[in-house]
Amino acid sequence: MKKVIFALCFCLTAIAGVHAQELKSPNGNFTLKFSLEKDGTPSYSLTYKGKDVIKPSKLGFELKKDEKSLLNDFTIINTKTSTFDENWTPVWGEVKTIRNHYNELAVSLNQKGTDREMVIRFRLFDDGLGFRYEFPQQKNLVYFVIKEERTQFAMAGDHTAYWIPGDYDTQEYDYTTSKLSEIRGLMEKSITANVSQTSFSPTGVQTSLMMKSADSIYINLHEAALIDYSCMHLNLNDKNMTFESWLTPDSKDDKGHMQAPRSTPWRTVIVSDDARDILASKITLNLNDPCKIDDTSWIKPVKYIGVWWEMITGKSSWAYTDDFPSVQLGVTDYTKATPNGKHGANTAHVKEYIDFAAKHGFDAVLVEGWNVGWEDWFGHSKDYVFDFVTPYPDFDVEGIRDYAKSKGIKMIMHHETSSSVRNYERHMDAAYKFMKDNDYDAVKSGYVGDILPRGENHYSQWIVNHYQYAIEKAAQYKIMVNAHEAVRPTGICRTYPNLIGNESARGTEYQAFGGSKPNHVTLLPFTRLIGGPMDYTPGIFEMEISKFSPNNNSHVNSTIANQLALYVTMYSPLQMAADMPEHYNQFLDAFQFIKDVPVEWDDSKYLEAEPGQYITAARKEKGTNNWFVGSVGGYDARTSNIKLDFLDKGKTYIATVYADANNAHYKTNPQAYVIYKGIVTNKSKLSQFVAPGGGYAVSIVEATKAESKGLDKL
């Protein structure tokens, strides 16, 4: 590891009369300016290559029951600048090594009249800015309650934004593309139904927020290291195009209970004139603490299938019986119930999935609906809803465990909490111990519905702390976590890499709930994935849901080639082949790419990118010279043109291309694809048609002369 730190301290007495501080990024492209306004209000601005990104913007806090608050009357008592440069190795990731290189400015402030201190720390990277507030230990600021954080982001124009509504309880929205000034008029229609949702403002949006200026500067606003704090939204003043932070409140409408010494999460501004740089940025990870798990050998990327899509689409059921209008755990007698014949998580059926996984080289099988209580699990503010250890009569835990082990397959446990957080914490140790006793190394947790305790929100401080508690508790049992409906990720997977996946956005399941926009997957990497990988659950091959679930008329707005490409464009160490085995058996030639594509990488390159239109990525398989390429498009057909100059010089590769047929279309002909092979080198170029809602995927495998004999150059 290379690590370089330089530090300089400037006391106020040495720079008397100077109220502005300036910091440049290592490459000189960014300039941060910090100053105090005439009334002592902290303010900052940011430029990129001489252009305004953030115009002068205020910083501070409004405190509950505090007349003064932490808003103004500050003086600078000390400044400190430093440079930091290191290379670190993630447990898993898009690249083998990550560089963490920044220049830092820490400004220490004292407030007149209260003698309270606050430090604002800025870190300027070559791809953007991170800053946070720090509260040192002190006499006059110990315990305090945040009424609102008043961090501003003053935009330099009426940018194009790719946004979802601000909401305390869900991120499961399709993205809207509009000018900032148009958000207010589009908000009502953008708020689509969800089982738990709480919007707060006609101009409130969620992070990660992606924007593009009129002169093609790409700007992304988010947060990093969300620990013991409320999730931040952004509220737009559309008269002056200024965003202000808007924290998620708790049941008492408080936005944060604080005890000094401590710091806030980082606020991040990622900027470039090349959209590919936004996708490649590692600012969010770099602003998190290094890994706190000493032994990470048990944390392994996973490719899995599962008893899931058939329930999501309505073909099968989570519930075992239709006999019970209500369930009381420990009282309701399932041995006397009549099976409904639709229960997906039965022993024989799960073994079929295990057989399919073993035959095709998958690592694991997820099973949902295995545990009692699904007849009465949602919508009644029910506390004791699941116990996470009692299976239905038709699910043989030990038998399935032994059968999976004999086939070399791991099982993934499912813990739906129904958002009864207190109940989950009550049972967590027993549930995790039950998992380990039955050879489960990973859990998919869920938080569907309104939070219990009543009045709390999914993203308030107390519930954010619960998600973190679950991750850290799981680490004690050497369990990997894939949390659904939890708070959106903010890079914590660096510190706790057993957090191998999150949903926290509109995932593939919505393709069975009426469909998602065909350009949705061209926006998620610019927004949701800025904070960490997503369990998007791709790989759907049958797009007409009514063909196997007659009561569901949803259509999956994607082509098969697009679904294949997602395994490369939507980075995750946890990848699911989400469709049912019978559908893969109909298209085994296309399914081959899902079988071949890895989940561990040594390098990643973003070859093409434009938010809402297209993304093309190339990734190098860990420990090999093989590369995999994925490209996804949006509403319009296009031709993708890429160079394969990332391949090793002097080596020959066989490229297998899985692409949209010329007549493919996400709505009218989604299963039309072509597969072809050819020889490529680092001098090769690829020009490939992409249908509306389509894409292509390529496996590029190093080959000998004998293996490449008879194949033409592409």
Which active-site residues does the annotation give? 509
Give the separation between CA 392 and CA 375, rounded to whole angstroms.
11
Give the separation between CA 365 and CA 695, rounded to whole angstroms.
27
* Apex 301 CA angle, 300 and 302, nearest 5: 110
Give the separation between CA 309 and CA 695, rounded to whole angstroms.
22
Name residues whose C-beta falls within 8 Å of residue 368's C-beta, 6 or more positions apart in sequence. 306, 307, 308, 311, 318, 344, 345, 414, 416, 444
* Environment class of 191 (CB within 10 Å of its CB; exposed 0-12, middle 13-18, buried 19+): middle
Name residues whose C-beta falls within 8 Å of residue 479's C-beta, 6 or more positions apart in sequence. 432, 435, 436, 440, 441, 442, 443, 498
Order of strands across the sheet that contains 627-633: 601-610, 614-621, 627-633, 695-702, 653-660, 673-680
The alpha carbon torsion through 399, 402, 406, 412 (nearest 10 deg) reads 100
Q: Give me the half-sphere count of Cα atoms (radius 13 Å) on the Cβ side of residue 714.
A: 27
Tokens of 243: 């965003």
Tokens of 129: 């800015």
Give the separation between CA 632 and CA 599, rounded to whole angstroms.
18
Helix, strand, coil in percent for the chain, rounding step 5: 20, 35, 45
Angle between helices 347-359 and 397-406 (to 10 degrees): 20
Give the separation between CA 199 and CA 462, rounded to whole angstroms.
19
Task: State the residue for tokens 């997957």.
Answer: 521
Give the separation between CA 113 and CA 696, rounded to whole angstroms.
63
Q: Which of 623, 616, 573, 563 lies closest to 593 in space, CA to CA?
A: 563
How many residues are present in the chain?
714
Amino acid (one-letter) located at 107: V
Order of strands across the sheet that contains 152-155: 20-24, 30-36, 42-48, 51-58, 152-155, 242-247, 232-237, 204-206
Name residues whose C-beta falls within 8 Å of residue 139's C-beta, 6 or more positions apart in sequence. 115
Tokens of 213: 């200026």
Task: State the residue for tokens 């936004």.
Answer: 278
Give the separation between CA 237 and CA 201, rounded to whole angstroms.
11
Distances (CA, A) of 338 to 40, 394, 581: 72, 11, 28
Query: Residues 388-412, buried b or exposed e (16+ Cβ, 10 A)?
Result: bbbbbbbbbbeebeebbeeeebbbb
User: What sign has the CA pseudo-torsion 103, 247, 162, 610?
Assistant: positive
C-beta neighbour count of 379 within 10 angstroms: 11
